[in-house]
Structure 1
């Protein structure tokens, strides 16, 4: 029996490979596409916010933002809230590009979704959410004392 982690990784890689293929027409990588999509939905964001939203490292987001800025797809300026933070915004060129590229990427997800009945998609999503929740929980060592609720003095 194949290990579950490998099956999940293969599915992720297949999805990314197909999105990579369809985004080539727009000269975008998947991380660049993700940043543009987040900026389309939120108007502006810091590098840290974009890294979290796009599930990439700070180092990766720095490279992605530099490349997007070099292509004229985003602009970065000092945040009005904090001088040391720069926020990125879409340019008109970036807005136009993401609006043209998004249907291609969305079609990949729709093709994947169409491989399942609505009930199967719901169950699949529930199973993936359970996997995420399970893995996000930190295991306590077997000999660790069980945390006790604090006494309520009232």
Structure 2
């Protein structure tokens, strides 16, 4: 019998690989796309907020933001609430790009969802949520659950 964790990891890798493939035309990585999508729905966010929403480390987010800023897709400015915090927001170029890229990623999500009946999707989601709850320490369960990309992985 195959280990459940390995099956979950293979499914995640297959999903990320397919998203990576469809994002090539937009010259975006999956983490870059995720940040742009979060910023599309949350116009200004700090690096810490984005790291939590995109499920990456603060160090990874710093690199992603630097790359997006270098491409002219986001701009960062000081927060009006906290002197030491900088917030990111989309540029017009970033908004246009994420709106063009999103349909391809949504198509991947829909293709995955279509492999299951409505009842299977509901049960699958419930099982994954139970796995998350089982493996997540209580103090971390109250964090953000937003997943970029619509019907999400």
Q: Verify same fold: TM over 0.5.
A: yes
Query: Which deviations, in whole Å up to 9, do the C-alpha atoms of 1:112-147 show, x marking residues without a partner?
Result: 000000000000000000000011146xxxxxxxxx
Output one character per residue of 1:34-86: Cα deviation in whole Å (capped at 9) or x when no partner: 00000000001000000000000111100000000000000000000011000
**CA RMSD across the alignment:** 0.7
> 2:50 is matched with which residue?
50
After TM superposition, the runs of 4+ consecutive aligned structure 1 residues lying more than 3 A away are: none
1:59 maps onto 2:59 in alignment? yes
2:25 matched residue in structure 1? 25
Is 2:11 the partner of 1:6? no
User: After the TM superposition, which residues 1-154 of structure 1 pair with which residues of structure 2 at under 5 Å, given as runs?
Assistant: 1-137=1-137
Indicate the structure (1 or 2) with the bigger Cα radius of gyration: 1
How many Å separate the matches in 2 of 1:105 and 1:115?
16
Alpha-carbon distance between aligned partners in 2 of 1:63 and 1:105, rounded to the nearest angstrom: 22
Unaligned runs of 5+ in 1: 139-154
Deviation of the 1:25 alpha carbon: 0.4
Unaligned regions of 5+ residues in structure 2, if any? Answer: 139-153
Quote the Cα distance in structure 2 between the aligned partners of 1:61 and 1:137.
Answer: 23
Bigger relative CO (Cα 8 Å, ≥ 6 apart): 2
Q: Compute the TM-score of the two structures, normalised by the length of structure 2.
A: 0.89
